[in-house]
């Protein structure tokens, strides 16, 4: 009896000293991890740069898809997928999530498919086809690889769900400062000046999953910066890949998982060499390690998820006359896009006037996670954090990467992210100016469905 009382007193003392020992965080979560090597074993075209003229020529380091399955004290489940891919095309993402619904009973709200946006990963089916000079044989290779990837990801999710065990989960934000706003700084001077123009988001969000023996099961971390250090024709995860390798080397047996934030207008500068990719990977890993070594917020075992798709309007497509002129003066992928559009217009095909855009919210304990599709500009992360709190985590490149997602300001300013990136992705026109209000309003309304509100709203009783 004396020992029982003594143990209880020790537990209560630890709970008072360290919130990580509280009942809410005392292994009421379950989690499981799984990963698979997705490095192609034969040459394929690499995704991300329009100037490439040949398929892959070997491997710098393997590329991966990784899964983290989680279950709260009430039995609610979710699965986070991270990947060394440029992006998940809608058709592939929809196929995976439909299969997961059939096999494991998980809805779209319970699955996030995030891509690191590495530019040294494979081209996938129905994505960026106008960029590359693909013949039928290359298209068939891409189709076969994509179909196999879909089946393997579904199986991977099953593995992570089957291998769950009791864990504690923690969250916190770190910081790293190698991102540079590429729209507002000339690249020729970016590496030489210290007074760089924003906006930026230097946060390094970190989730720690800890086993009952206090060893690490998984570390999930993010950053908002384009993985465009490397332009080589070798498979790699770019700087996020090196960051994951560094963390897994320092923490044997742990699965490191990177998610891309709202980094569509952020570049690592300087760039273009393998040593620089390693350097940025080590810098990011060091930022994560610093967070792991300090006190992190324990997350109560409560999981809420929500998902929707909002309709984003597109402007009117160009006329036959405008397309004819475009084809006459353009080259490379711009011309391929124009020729395809011109043929469709002459055949009387109706062009898309809107796009179903994915929005997603998770709340783990009191940690808010917002996942948005497309190449998300940093302005969206800034706005969401202003609304929901600066400790919120924001993911871009989730569930569907269909084009750049500019703010209204960037649309007005134009440039690649605002005016011409839709050509790269094959869309018929640029976005309407209501894109920003539609997305932010949609996210606020979606968050309300699971009780997630702005801290300011709670204070004033709204």
The mean pLDDT value for 242-251 works out to: 98
Indicate whether 330 and 245 sit together in one domain.
Answer: no
pLDDT of 129 reads 67
Where are the strands (E) in 314-442, listed by range?
Answer: 354-364, 367-372, 375-376, 393-395, 404-405
pLDDT of 461 reads 43
Task: Say if residue 41's pLDDT is above 70.
Answer: yes
pLDDT of 330 reads 87
The mean pLDDT value for 25-31 works out to: 79
The mean pLDDT value for 275-293 works out to: 97
> 59 vs 51, 149, 200, 257, 261, CA distance in Å?
20, 18, 32, 20, 25
Neighbouring residues of 448: CB distance < 8 A, sequence distance ≥ 6: none
- Parent domain of 331: 315-351
pLDDT of 460 reads 40
Backbone angles phi, psi at 290, to 5 degrees: -60, -40
Per-residue pLDDT reduced to its tens digit, 360-416: 999 999 999 999 999 999 999 999 999 999 999 999 999 999 999 999 999 999 888
The mean pLDDT value for 281-290 works out to: 98
Beta-carbon count within 10 A of 54 CB? 10
Indicate whether 322 and 440 sit together in one domain.
Answer: no
Indicate whether 232 and 299 sit together in one domain.
Answer: yes
Report the percent of the chain where pLDDT is more than 70. 91
Indicate whether 245 and 367 sit together in one domain.
Answer: yes
Report how far Cα 1 is from the mean position of its chain's Cα atoms: 52
Residue-wise DSSP of 96-114? HHHHHHHHH---GGGEEEB
In a domain, 186, yes or no: yes
Task: Say if residue 6's pLDDT is above 50.
Answer: no
Task: Say if residue 192's pLDDT is above 80.
Answer: no
The mean pLDDT value for 435-445 works out to: 97
In a domain, 248, yes or no: yes
In a domain, 12, yes or no: no
Q: What's the pLDDT band for 26 if we cut at 50, 70, 90? A: low
In a domain, 215, yes or no: yes
Indicate whether 330 and 275 sit together in one domain.
Answer: no
Task: Say if residue 4's pLDDT is above 50.
Answer: no
Which residue, of 327, 351, 375, is where some domain finishes? 351
Indicate whether 180 and 327 sit together in one domain.
Answer: no
Task: Say if residue 420's pLDDT is above 50.
Answer: yes
Indicate whether 341 and 411 sit together in one domain.
Answer: no
Contact predicate 427/436, CB 8 Å? no
Secondary structure of 387-423 as H, E, C letters:
HHCCCCEEECCECCCCCEECCHHHHHHCHHHHHHHHH
Indicate whether 393 and 328 sit together in one domain.
Answer: no
In a domain, 63, yes or no: yes
pLDDT of 421 reads 83
How many residues in the chain?
462
Indicate whether 263 and 391 sit together in one domain.
Answer: yes
Task: Say if residue 193's pLDDT is above 70.
Answer: no
In a domain, 13, yes or no: no
Which residue, of 323, 351, 379, is where some domain finishes? 351
Which residue, of 290, 324, 351, is where some domain finishes? 351
**At 428, is the secondary structure helix, strand, or coil?**
coil
Q: Is 353 exposed, middle or buried (0-12, 13-18, 19+ CB in 10 A)?
A: middle
Indicate whether 331 and 280 sit together in one domain.
Answer: no
Domain count, the chain: 2
Task: Say if residue 435's pLDDT is above 80.
Answer: yes
Which of 11-15, 173-177, 202-206, 229-233 shows the lowest per-residue confidence on average (mean pLDDT)?
11-15
Indicate whether 322 and 431 sit together in one domain.
Answer: no
In a domain, 145, yes or no: yes
In a domain, 151, yes or no: yes
Indicate whether 320 and 233 sit together in one domain.
Answer: no
Question: Closest Cα partner for 117 from 432, 411, 403?
Answer: 403
Q: What's the pLDDT band for 8 if we cut at 50, 70, 90? A: very low
The mean pLDDT value for 143-149 works out to: 94
pLDDT of 337 reads 87
């Amino acid at each position: 009896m004396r020992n029982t009382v003594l143990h209880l007193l020790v537990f209560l003392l630890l709970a008072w000293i360290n919130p990580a020992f509280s009942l809410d965080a005392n292994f009421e979560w379950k989690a499981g991890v799984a990963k698979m090597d997705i490095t192609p074993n034969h040459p394929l075209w690499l995704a991300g740069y329009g100037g490439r003229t040949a398929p892959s020529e070997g491997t710098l380091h393997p590329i991966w898809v990784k899964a983290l399955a989680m279950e709260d004290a009430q039995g609610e489940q979710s699965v986070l997928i991270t990947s060394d891919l440029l992006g998940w095309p809608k058709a592939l993402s929809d196929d995976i999530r439909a299969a997961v619904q059939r096999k494991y009973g998980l809805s779209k709200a319970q699955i996030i498919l995030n891509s690191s946006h590495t530019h040294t990963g494979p081209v996938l089916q129905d994505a960026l086809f106008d960029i590359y000079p693909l013949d039928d044989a290359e298209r068939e290779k891409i189709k076969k690889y994509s179909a196999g990837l879909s089946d393997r990801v579904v199986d991977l999710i099953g593995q992570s769900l089957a291998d769950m065990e009791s864990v504690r989960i923690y969250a916190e934000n770190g910081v790293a400062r190698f991102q540079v706003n590429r729209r507002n700084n000339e690249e020729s001077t970016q590496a030489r000046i210290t007074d760089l123009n924003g906006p930026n988001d230097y946060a390094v969000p970190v989730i720690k999953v800890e086993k009952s023996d206090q060893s690490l099961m998984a570390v999930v971390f993010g950053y908002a910066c384009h993985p465009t250090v490397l332009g080589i024709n070798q498979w790699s995860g770019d700087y996020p890949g090196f960051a994951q390798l560094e963390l897994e080397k320092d923490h044997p047996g742990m699965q490191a998982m990177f998610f891309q934030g709202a980094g569509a207008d952020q570049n690592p500068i300087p760039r273009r060499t393998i040593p620089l990719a390693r350097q940025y990977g080590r810098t990011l890993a060091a930022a994560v390690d610093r967070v792991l070594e300090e006190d992190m917020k324990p997350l109560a075992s409560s999981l809420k998820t929500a998902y929707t798709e909002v309709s984003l309007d597109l402007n009117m497509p160009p006329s036959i006359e405008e397309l004819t002129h475009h084809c006459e003066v353009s080259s490379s992928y711009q011309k391929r896009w124009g020729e395809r559009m011109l043929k469709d217009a002459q055949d009387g095909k109706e062009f898309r006037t809107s796009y179903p855009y994915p929005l997603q919210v998770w709340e783990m304990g009191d940690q808010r996670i917002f996942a948005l599709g497309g190449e998300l500009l940093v302005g969206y992360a800034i706005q969401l954090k202003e609304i929901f709190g600066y400790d919120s985590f924001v993911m871009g490149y989730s569930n569907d990467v269909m084009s750049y997602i500019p703010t209204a300001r960037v649309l007005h300013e134009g440039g690649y992210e605002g005016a011409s990136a839709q050509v790269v992705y094959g869309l018929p026109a640029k976005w309407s100016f209501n894109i920003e209000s539609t997305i932010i309003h949609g996210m606020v309304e979606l968050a309300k469905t699971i009780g997630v509100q702005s801290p300011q709203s709670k204070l004033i009783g709204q």
